[in-house]
Amino acid sequence: SVKPSQLSYLKNCATAASAWKKLKEMHQPSGPVRKVSLYKQLLGLRMTDGDVMSSYLNKFCSTVDKLSEVDIKISEELAVIILLSSLPKNYENFVIAVETRDNLPTLEVLKIKLLEEGERRASESKMDYHSEQQAFQAKTKTIRKKRGDKNDVECYKCGQRGHYKNQCRNKVREEPIKCQQQQHRSFTVLAATDVGELKYSSWCLDSGATAHMSGARILFKNYIAQAEDVVLADNNVIRAVGKGDVVLQTDLCKLTLENVLHVPQMKGNFISVSRAVDRGCTVSFNNKYAIVSQEGEMILKAEKRNRLFVFESKNNTCFSAAQCSAEIWHNRYGHLNYGSLKSLVKNKMVLGIENMYISDNTQCRTCMKSKIHTQPFPVASESRAKKLLELVHTDVCGPFEKRSLGGSSYFLTFIDDMSRRIFTFFLKSKDEVFENFVTFKNMVERQTGQKIKALRSDNGREYINKRFDDFLKQHGIARQLTIPYSPQQNGVAERANRTLVEMARSLLVHSNMPEFLWAEAVQSACYIRNRAPTSALVGMTPYEAWSGRKPNVKNMRTFGSVAIGLDKTRKGKFHAKGKEYRFVGYSLVSKAYRLYDEERHQIVEKRDVLFDEQVSVLEPDDQIAFDLPADGATNDYRLEVGKLIPCKSEVEKEKVTCSEDMQSDEYASAEEQEAEQKQDVKVGRGRPKYVRSGMPGRPKKKYNVIQAVQSAEKQLPQTYKEAISSEHVSYWQAAMEAEYDALVANSTWTVTDLPKGEQAIGCKWVYTVKRDKTGSVERYKARLVAKGCAQRFGVNYTETFSPVCRYETIRLVLALSVQLKLYLHQMDVCTAYLNSELKDVVYMKQPEGYADRASSGKVLRLNKAIYGLKQAGREWNSMLNGALCEIGFSQCQNEPCLYKQDIKGSLCLILIYVDDLLIACQKKSDLMQVKSMISTKFECVDKGPLQMFLGMQIQRDGEIGDISMNQSLYISDMLQRHDMQQCRTATTPLDTGYQIVCERESCVKVDTKEYQSAIGELMWLALTSRPDIYHSVVKLAQRNNNPHSEHFTGVKHVMRYLAATRDLKLNYRASGQALEGFVDADWGGDISNRRSYTGYIFFLAGGPISWKSEKQSSVALSSTEAEYMALTSAAKEALHLRRLIIEIGCGNADTPTTLYGDNLSSQNLAKNPIYHARSKHIDIRHHFVREAIQSGDVELKYIPTEEMIADVLTKNLSKNKHLHFVKLMNLI
């Protein structure tokens, strides 16, 4: 039958089928809203402990069927996964058993198994009560309004309203249980008020409880996780998850309750009378009080309330959302002022907060410290938008001195004028404003169905540009700009930014969280602010004005509070299931909390979380403050932390297998060490690098000082504006003054008018700090550089090539200095490029901050090759070459950056690297003479004996003794840049047999720039001082253009190896050993294309001076062929090094250089030039090794594979083999 009200919809239907279709459309909509609603309903299904399995499965399958009816097909495998994830915790063993099978069961099979498991548990719960604890927890109100009115009556048995327990129809299953219970225990029936009205500071004396119980985890000390069942008087079973001690403060003394059960589902606290009597106490009851005495003295007095004896502890605080104190909600709301908080509760603007008393005199010291500012001037009111998106305000806030965890330096806000709802986006640079506006526009217009009509902003270049203008015109959006230097016209955005920063500051100050979490604090502040009162709205929050519904804030927690999250990676039966985090916000994409993992320095999102909001985390000496500008000033913000923070060490030895999705297990927990007051870098043996087991030795304790040694590079100013507004402004100002004065004194330019038709290029200031060998700041340096990218070829530059010395040459000079006992000193040419005359005509704009020193409107015609010009390096090298030749040095043909001179039979060498000069002489008098002659040509800084060169730390035994070199400071800085100071260490760079082919389906693509940056850092280290990681880095670098999470895991693995071996040093000693090389190949080592890897390494003075690992350019048909190709590559390098040494005058041309190999077939092929089938297809260039052997430059010798050092440059080896070859490299 059809209701009369529906007939009007069916009057045009000619057939029954069309009528049925019309009715189906009416009662079963299939639009997007219906689809989303059903899908959310499916994902939100959760079975509780009291649910009947058959009923829950029917509910689950019904939801899946409804989705199918609206054309949303849930695959059977996905349905199984969703069903398993929705089961309660007590089904965890069942879920693990299913998940560990090779294949997931079908949905039908899983349903059968779940029904069987449910029936089994139901039967067991009826029979096994021997070890269960008993307690009574009254959950229903006993006060009746009228005898005959049953509407508000709640059944004690089934929990439904409208009947009494003796009238309940659900009796059948209760009787056998009751009989069996009566055989084992008796119950105490308390006539109680609703326990939900009791505060968590309230403790009830329960004569029927066999154990003390509490639902508040925060009250416990000496806590132990231990699961037990607790049976209530209504036969319901709830779970105790642990036990511990609770200290209660009475008016008379402190009481310690031992072995208190922690029952999270319990809404109150209970003191067991029987347990108290067992401990020798006496409990007496009268009409008003219950008194607990011990040895004749009263220790506790409980007051009778509605037939319950209740004791109020003095030191416990309320815990649930309904009973939380004003202070807790003040903290949860990001230190919202108490007036707004009172308005929020009084006007019932949100759900989840019940009645709460707030004193008119309540104050918060954190707010006073964090929000103090100058009082604003009154502003005139303006008209408000009447509709959503009629006007949007926007502004950029930043830069912040410390980058966020995600690398952001700014945040961008959009504020809807009508609802005052705030949206935030985080930026690495202001160039990202436009892309984020497009994202914001698409999102809000889709949500509301409205169009943005006007956008109000300041006159920043991030808003005023052609791209932004064209987009606004295309979409009909009006632009409203403020008058320059009148930020009050954009007061809504300016005030929103200040509010967010003040609230974020309060969150960080109160929680003592690291300052790099400022973005999380700002995001939380935005979430809170949208759910808080604002003077622009009456009786509602921005959230309600935007969405039309009140926000529910039951999920709110205090920022920075301790959060125990479920860690599903801990599979062991006796492992703790929970892991401790710090709460930092709310997920924007799911119903989850954002948590900061302090051990791994990463953000995770979890749904199953317990909170401890009562832990005090703020220390009196902690100081965290955003320095806000005065009203109307530019939006530059700075965060300061004055605190010495110790690094963590004692890393865990545990293998990592993770994907790089920022929720991986990359970092290890560590014990906090005691902070030192200074940081020393010791030169000498120190603690052992390896212990007897072969594992890396215990890492040294190192300490970081915020804004000092290790983090200074991250805080360097990027612009002139940042420099003059930084805390080190006096240092930067002095550095700029010195640079500018030097440029003027050197006649670097001539002030002139710009000729017609010419273009002037720009310039900028570049800032850096110079450090000594210990990493301490030596001086602040500012350099004015030209923006050479604006130069045009053939107009203001032509030739640009300038030679740079190879790292092999640097190590060769170090080895020769040891071998020949040369004195080794270093000099630095001041403003090197400015010594060379500029041949081309180049005009440059005046530098920022110094334009007033010359006539306005004029430009600078450059006379000298200032830094940044494309031809500057070439001009300087040409001038330096001429100067060195004038004082008697000659340029080496095999290395254009190495100069030599024979001073009365004494060898002198000069190695140049741009403006750094390395001078080596056999006699100290010759050394001083050379330094004097160079000083007459250029203004130089004499740095004395070599200690630090291109980031390499050099230590020498005396002036002419052995040399060791390492880069421990660089490794430490690199690990800090990647937040890996406390990472787990590894014993090899990569696992044995590691391949770069992605085979896992879970492997996802990662940020290419970030990956390339990490590879660049590792590659520089591998090229300069760490041959032991060279092969691994070369292998990972092959994925530079298409990196995945698996490859980033490999990069982090190499860094973890470096963390363990950061103190390894290359060592050179006066052994008299001549140049010799080792060469090897790994045939078909790359499984992606079956090409082989070549590896070689050359030694001089007992240490490696040249090494290489590369993939061969063609497929080798045999191991002999692969080894033969490797011999050719090594022979070419041998000839270069050999000729350079001979040219210097330190080698014998008649003595061949020895190449060691472990493949006799390839050596025979190299020595035997006879044509045969095994060599006829080999490219002619690979026969170069034959010519080298025939000319007497190279000789080949066999060495067993066990002694082939180059093996570590062709493949990833096991721990023992890797450590063996590392020691053979003299890398110790």
| Percent of the chain predicted with pLDDT > 90 | 25
637-641: long-range contacts (C-beta < 8 A, 24 or more apart)?
637/397, 637/398, 637/399, 637/400, 637/401, 637/501, 638/400, 638/401, 638/725, 638/726, 638/727, 639/400, 639/401, 639/402, 639/508, 639/515, 639/518, 640/707, 640/727, 641/515, 641/706, 641/707
CA-based radius of gyration for the chain: 38
Where is mean pLDDT largest: 689-698, 991-1000, 1080-1089? 1080-1089
Residue 1138's pLDDT band, with cuts at 50, 70 and 90, is: very high
| Predicted pLDDT of residue 397 | 92
| Residues 859, 844 contacting (CB under 8 angstroms) | yes
Distinct helix (H) and strand (E) counts, the chain: 30, 48
Tell me which residue of 21, 23, 29 sits closest to 8, measured CA to CA: 23
Tell me which residue of 666, 524, 635 sits closest to 586, measured CA to CA: 524
| Percent of the chain predicted with pLDDT > 70 | 76
What's the whole-number mean pLDDT along residues 330-350?
75
The token duo for 34 is 């219906």
pLDDT over 50 (residue 178): no
Cα 240 vs. chain centroid, distance in angstroms?
36
Tell me which residue of 793, 794, 798, 767 sits closest to 780, measured CA to CA: 767
| Residues 1203, 1097 contacting (CB under 8 angstroms) | no
Q: Mean pLDDT of all residues in the chain?
A: 77
Q: What are the tens digits of pLDDT across the range 221-245?
A: 777 878 788 877 666 778 888 888 8
Buried b (16+ CB within 10 A) or exposed e, 673-687: eeeeeebebeeeeee
pLDDT over 70 (residue 484): no
Q: What are the tens digits of pLDDT across the range 404-423?
A: 888 889 999 999 999 999 99
CA separation for the pair 454, 511 (Å, rounded): 39
| Residues 1077, 1155 contacting (CB under 8 angstroms) | yes
Q: Is the omega angle on the peptide bond into residue 399 within 30 degrees of 0, that is, cis?
A: yes
The token duo for 222 is 């000496």
The token duo for 340 is 């707004």
What's the whole-number mean pLDDT along residues 454-462?
90
- Of 9-18, 574-583, 796-805, 943-952, minimum mean pLDDT range: 9-18
Helix boundaries (H) for 1145-1197: 1160-1167, 1184-1190
Looking at per-residue confidence, does 319 or 16 come out higher? Answer: 16
Distances (CA, A) of 346 to 265, 321, 428, 549, 1181: 29, 16, 41, 17, 88
pLDDT over 90 (residue 1136): yes
CA separation for the pair 1134, 1076 (Å, rounded): 8
Looking at per-residue confidence, does 344 or 782 come out higher? Answer: 782
CA separation for the pair 94, 91 (Å, rounded): 5
Q: What is the 3-state secondary structure (H, E, C) of 1063-1081?
A: CCCEEECCCCCCCEEEEEE
Residue 442, φ and ψ in degrees, nearest 5 = -65, -40
| Residues 1132, 1184 contacting (CB under 8 angstroms) | yes
Distances (CA, A) of 990 to 319, 667, 696, 993: 49, 17, 15, 8
Looking at per-residue confidence, does 358 or 636 come out higher? Answer: 358
| Residues 456, 384 contacting (CB under 8 angstroms) | no
Cα 201 vs. chain centroid, distance in angstroms?
39
| Residues 890, 879 contacting (CB under 8 angstroms) | no
Residue 379: left (phi > 0), alpha (psi -120 to 50), or beta?
beta
Q: What are the tens digits of pLDDT across the range 1076-1091?
A: 999 999 988 787 778 8
Element (H, E) at 17: helix 16-27
Looking at per-residue confidence, does 473 or 1162 come out higher? Answer: 473
pLDDT over 60 (residue 134): no
- For CA atoms 872, 873, 878, 881, give the dihedral sign: positive
pLDDT over 80 (residue 211): yes
CB atoms within 10 A of CB 240: 24
Tell me which residue of 417, 418, 397 sits closest to 409, measured CA to CA: 397
CB atoms within 10 A of CB 654: 9
